[in-house]
Amino acid sequence: MQVTYWAEHAWLDTNVEPGVALEVTDGRITAVRKGAEVPPPGAVVLRGLTIPGLANAHSHAFHRALRGTVQVGSGTFWTWREVMYQVASRLTPETYFSLARAVYAEMALAGITVVGEFHYLHHAPGGVAYSDPNAMGEALIAAAADAGIRITLLDTAYLSSAIRDKHSGEAPNKHQLRFSDGTAEAWAERASALKSSDHALIGAALHSVRAVPAAQLSTVAQWAEARRAPLHVHLSEQTAENDACRAAHGCTPTRLLADHGVLGPRTTGVHNTHLTNEDIALLGSSATGTCMCPTTERDLADGIGPAATLQREGSPLSLGSDSHAVIDLLEEARAMELNERLRTRTRGHWTAAALLRAATEDGHAALGWHDAGRLEPGAPADFTTVALDSVRTAGPVPRLAAETAVFAATAADVRHTVVAGRHVVRDGVHTLIPDVARALAESIDALRA
């Protein structure tokens, strides 16, 4: 398939260029031509600012069903978790497919072309394996295909409910039995049956140091290393996790991961909120990535992580929508900067270009798509277009389009999303799932008790 897309404005090499023709063959960009003042004959016109597709580096698809419900009243991360368990208990492979399909379609409408699904809901209630032990993971992979986006399935080891001592963890509670394979070896055997494809990569995740006993951390890390696959881990999201780790192991979670071979350039710590200076140095010196999820982190009152310091020390930044209180990577990018302004009472920690890079190229790299996230020949033809004439974005001159997109636009301003050269969202409408709102409402309603 050959098609030419004409971008009214495009973000190239940190600059906004007017009139850019993107030639696409078999799902990849074959040429990028600047100075195309008018659309070439037969070209698909993209009005606004075209940027590489956004990478949602951290997602729990089923958390989308919590939106609104968990905003009632007060509480903590731990009370929020109890509501999450209730939703998880009602999912089947069929209902999970329907929900994830709608959630991933919402992501496409928000300009997201790849999602990193941190997947730990493996088994039936009570922990009994389905006849296909990967039925839930396969449902997510199929859902992404139907919604027209790419996925990195970060199959997650989740073996215990808490740290017991330096050798073992507490048994999973009744809700967590669905998550557990029993041992890291059993997790690896099941995960090894998952296969990558054109639209799906298979990676690994450690849920957290509280959910994987220290003696089993290296098994998961070695599985990922052997496959050169991305490895993600929730890291120091809660101070209680740090306290329990120190009590059992005499060190922080970051040091524990370092001592068991988990850190490295294919590893991403998610949240990285409550870190010591030594933790930051360990993550930076090992080039371990950091995925910030500012909307979830503030929704759950987790705190503000040291993102700017981490990046200065060598930890690449990516962004995720995590619990999907909203699905809007432009908001996540903006929030990372604004949170740092609140924390430091100074402005301008990242340029708009740096924030866009975290949301695109570095997010793709964190998910194992190392040739994606750029508008250049040879890259996958994955890109999105943000309107510059909405009530939020009208007014600034075009050369400030990147600043406008990051600091003013929202997901509602996404007009087009192209994945592998296919026009998945056209003029704000999903071409594969025309009524995404209805699909979301019906799939979530099916989970209500």
Phi/psi region, residue 290 (left: phi>0; alpha: psi -120 to 50; beta: rest), is beta
Cα–Cα distance between 143 and 146 in angstroms, integer? 5
SS3 370: coil
pLDDT, tens digit only, all 449 positions of the chain: 899 999 999 999 899 999 999 999 999 999 999 999 999 999 999 999 999 999 999 999 999 999 988 777 777 777 778 888 888 899 999 999 999 999 999 999 999 999 999 999 999 999 999 999 999 999 999 999 999 999 999 999 999 999 999 999 999 999 999 999 999 999 999 999 999 999 999 999 999 999 999 999 999 999 999 999 999 999 999 999 999 999 999 999 999 999 999 999 999 999 999 999 999 999 999 999 999 999 999 988 899 999 999 999 999 999 999 999 999 999 999 999 999 999 999 999 999 999 999 999 999 999 999 999 999 999 999 999 999 999 999 999 999 999 999 999 999 999 999 999 999 999 999 999 999 999 999 999 999 86
In this structure, are residues 220 and 231 in contact, taking their beta carbons and an 8 Å threshold? yes
- Looking at residue 449, its pLDDT comes to 61
Is 9 a catalytic site residue?
no
| Cα dihedral 69/70/71/75 (nearest 10) | 150
Cα–Cα distance between 273 and 179 in angstroms, integer? 24
- Name residue 380's amino acid: P
DSSP lists the bridge partners of residue 291 as 270, 318
- Looking at residue 86, its pLDDT comes to 87
- Looking at residue 107, its pLDDT comes to 98
Cα–Cα distance between 44 and 2 in angstroms, integer? 12
Beta strands in 26-68 (DSSP E): 28-33, 44-52, 54-59
Element (H, E) at 169: strand 169-170
* The pair of three-digit structure tokens given for residue 372, joined into one six-digit string: 């994606």
Instruction: Provide φ and ψ at 134, rounded to 5°.
Output: -110, 25
Closest CA to 368 of 155, 219, 154: 154
User: Using alpha carbons only, what angle is made at residue 14 by residues 11 and 17, rounded to the nearest 5 degrees?
Assistant: 40
- Which is catalytic among the residues 260, 271, 324, 430? 271
- Looking at residue 82, its pLDDT comes to 84
Cα–Cα distance between 14 and 11 in angstroms, integer? 6
Is 322 a catalytic site residue?
yes
In this structure, are residues 408 and 398 in contact, taking their beta carbons and an 8 Å threshold? no
- Which is catalytic among the residues 322, 362, 382, 413? 322
- Looking at residue 448, its pLDDT comes to 85
CB atoms within 10 A of CB 447: 19
In this structure, are residues 149 and 380 in contact, taking their beta carbons and an 8 Å threshold? no
Residue 124, judged by CB atoms within 10 A of its CB (0-12, 13-18, 19+), counts as: middle
Closest CA to 4 of 51, 52, 36, 40: 40
